[in-house]
Amino acid sequence: MGRNIIGGIVGYIVLFIVMFATCTTAYLVMGTDNAFAPGTYDVTTTWILVSSVFAFLAAVVGGYVAAIIGRGAGAAKILAGIILVMGLLSIVIVAVSTRSAEARIAATPNMEAFTKAQTPLWAAGLSTLIGIAGAIVGGNLRKDRRA
C-alpha cells in the first residue's frame, strides 16, 4: 500500500510538471489574445480545449508513472483520488471567487495570466473529470509485470 501512495503522490507531481510545461508553451504559442476574451481575463473556448487535451495527456503520464512506482494500476487509482480532491477544491474556489472587472493589458506575462485567469465553473469540473480519466488510462498502460 505504501508504494501505491508514494506512486500516487509522485504521479501527481509529474502531472503538475507536465501540465505546467505544456500550458506555458501553449500560452506562449497561442498568445494572450487567443487565450483570453478581448480585454478580459476570461479564458476562451480555444484555451479550454487546448488545456483539456494537455490535462488528459499530463494525467496519462502521471498515471503511468504512478503505476510504475506502485507496480500496478492501484497507484493510478490513488492519483485519481488526489485529482478528485484537488479538482473539488478548484471547483469550490472558482464557485466562491468574484469575477474581476479589471481590464487585461495587451501582452499579459505568463505568471500574471495564470493567477488572473477566470475559468468557467463547468470547465473546472470538466478538467477534474478529464484528469481522473487520464490517470486511469495511464495506470492501465502499465501492466503489472510480477508473475
HEC string for 30-57: HCHHHHECCCCCEECHHHHHHHHHHHHH
97-109 per-position pLDDT tens digit:
887 777 777 777 7
- Per the CB < 8 A criterion, the answer to whether 66 and 138 are in contact is yes
Residue 33 lies in a domain: yes
pLDDT for residue 130: 97
pLDDT for residue 147: 35
Residue 147 lies in a domain: no
Domain count across the chain: 1
Those residues whose C-beta lies under 8 Å from the C-beta of residue 74, and which sit 6 or more positions away, are 4, 7
23-81 per-position pLDDT tens digit:
999 988 998 888 888 888 889 999 999 999 999 999 999 999 999 999 888 899 999 99
Residue 77 lies in a domain: yes
CA dihedral 49, 99, 31, 105 (to 10 degrees): 170
Return the C-alpha cell found at 17.
Answer: 510538471
Its domain, for residue 88, covers 2-141
Residue 146 lies in a domain: no
Residue 101 lies in a domain: yes
116-146 per-position pLDDT tens digit:
888 899 999 999 999 999 999 999 997 655 4
